[in-house]
Amino acid sequence: MNRDTTMLLFLQRMRFLKTQEKLKVLQSCTSAENIPGKAALQQIIGRNFTATYNRDKLLSLVESDLSLMLKSGINTLFIHDRFYPDHLKEIYNPPFLLYYKGQPPPENSLNISVVGTRKATGRALKEAYALSFDLARSGASVISGLAEGVDRAAHKGALAGKGYTAAVFGCGIDRIYPSGNKKLAASILDNGGTLFSEYPPGTIPSRYNFPERNRIVSALSEATVVVESPLKSGALITADFALEQGREVFVLHVPCESAAGAGTKNLIVQGASPVSSAFEVLNSLSYKSKGMKSKIDVNHDYDSLETGRFLAARFLAELRGLEICREGTYYSL
């Protein structure tokens, strides 16, 4: 099958085609310049479409994509490439192409999505950090969306636990959103993690993109843990996708009587499994039976859990402007 980069980028720009339709076009055409006009294209895919199709404009956009990718160090994963995540291939209409920076995702790793509200309570931030720290120390990978709040705490916890973490964007990965997470994105890359997006470089953040992004967050993982969520939240959309994709959904127990936790309470009523630690998540997934290293055993490793709690408390103090960390040492402000 043709793997010409220009051709793949051209097809990815055709948002009005489903992945299987793009694969049909790829089988029929040798290059982007050989892709036919609208009538012949409709014949190839077996249906009519109303979307505007301007081949010359798309070719111009692809030239811009190639320039931005070279400038920003962005690579691609085609759906038939070796390192394209297997879990992602299983879902309905998986991304035809993934743009990424950093390392390809580790093979055969246990991936856990940790998600929640952007406007999380201090307790939720602390617990998300500690959960992700312990997951990472146990060898699991932490997936999230690089948003403010729970996502940010999850990525930072995984990094502190010296584990792999991946962030999935709802925009081009040359545009860090929110901009306040630029240092965090750089830290993910510096520590062997990955930034993913199905959107071409230069794509601006759009509220319509984030639900699409959430299906990738859940699909990359064997389970999704929702830490805290109000009744209307992207985290609940991620949980819905996880259920549709046949993944496990857990709710991390965080005492919260405010509206911030109303969505997670609802998830439990609907059947999501409440958990209070990384151990419970891994145990429920029969983590040790997969032959992967596990630091947390049946008796819990209290040293690691206490370390996670300590670092979570330091992270919360940093957020509140009470402490600052320099080269691993914390100072009170």
**What per-residue confidence (pLDDT) applies to 309?**
55
CATH number at residue 291: 3.40.50.450
**What per-residue confidence (pLDDT) applies to 182?**
96
- Residue 120 and residue 128 in contact, taking contact as beta carbons nearer than 8 Å: yes
Exposed, middle or buried, 249 (CB in 10 Å: 0-12/13-18/19+)? buried
CA 144 from centroid of its chain's CA atoms: 4
In a domain, 255, yes or no: yes
**What per-residue confidence (pLDDT) applies to 218?**
97
Three-state secondary structure of 251-301: EECCCCCCHHHHHHHHHHHCCCEEECCHHHHHHHCCHHHHCCCCCCCCCCC
**What per-residue confidence (pLDDT) applies to 286?**
79
Question: Same domain, yes or no, for 164 and 225?
Answer: yes
Question: Same domain, yes or no, for 290 and 219?
Answer: yes
- Of all residues in the chain, the percent with pLDDT exceeding 70 is 83
Question: Same domain, yes or no, for 44 and 147?
Answer: no
Q: Which domain holds residue 16?
A: 1-58
Question: Same domain, yes or no, for 134 and 247?
Answer: yes
In a domain, 202, yes or no: no
Query: Considering 37, 58, 79, which residue would you say is the last residue of a domain?
Result: 58
- What's the whole-model pTM score? 0.84
Question: Same domain, yes or no, for 19 and 166?
Answer: no
List Cβ neighbours of 205 (8 Å cut-off, separation of 6 or more): 170, 171, 175, 177
- Residue 6 and residue 34 in contact, taking contact as beta carbons nearer than 8 Å: no
Amino acid occupying residue 132: S
In a domain, 86, yes or no: no
CA 243 from centroid of its chain's CA atoms: 16
Backbone angle region of 2, left / alpha / beta, with phi > 0 → left and psi within -120 to 50 → alpha: beta
pLDDT band at 177 (very low <50, low <70, confident <90, very high): very high
Per-residue pLDDT tens for 213-230? 999 999 999 999 999 888
More confident of the two residues 250 and 305:
250
**What per-residue confidence (pLDDT) applies to 310?**
59
In a domain, 180, yes or no: no
**What per-residue confidence (pLDDT) applies to 208?**
85
Mean pLDDT for all residues in the chain: 85
In a domain, 295, yes or no: yes
pLDDT band at 327 (very low <50, low <70, confident <90, very high): very low
pLDDT band at 302 (very low <50, low <70, confident <90, very high): very low
The pLDDT of 70-76, averaged and rounded, is: 94
**What per-residue confidence (pLDDT) applies to 262?**
75
In a domain, 73, yes or no: no
Per-residue pLDDT tens for 264-276? 888 888 888 899 9
pLDDT band at 238 (very low <50, low <70, confident <90, very high): very high
**What per-residue confidence (pLDDT) applies to 333?**
46
Domain total in the chain: 2
Question: Same domain, yes or no, for 10 and 148?
Answer: no
The pLDDT of 163-177, averaged and rounded, is: 96
- Cα distances (angstroms) measured from residue 105 to each of 77, 86, 102, 134, 182: 11, 10, 9, 19, 21
Q: Residue 35 pLDDT > 90, yes or no?
A: no
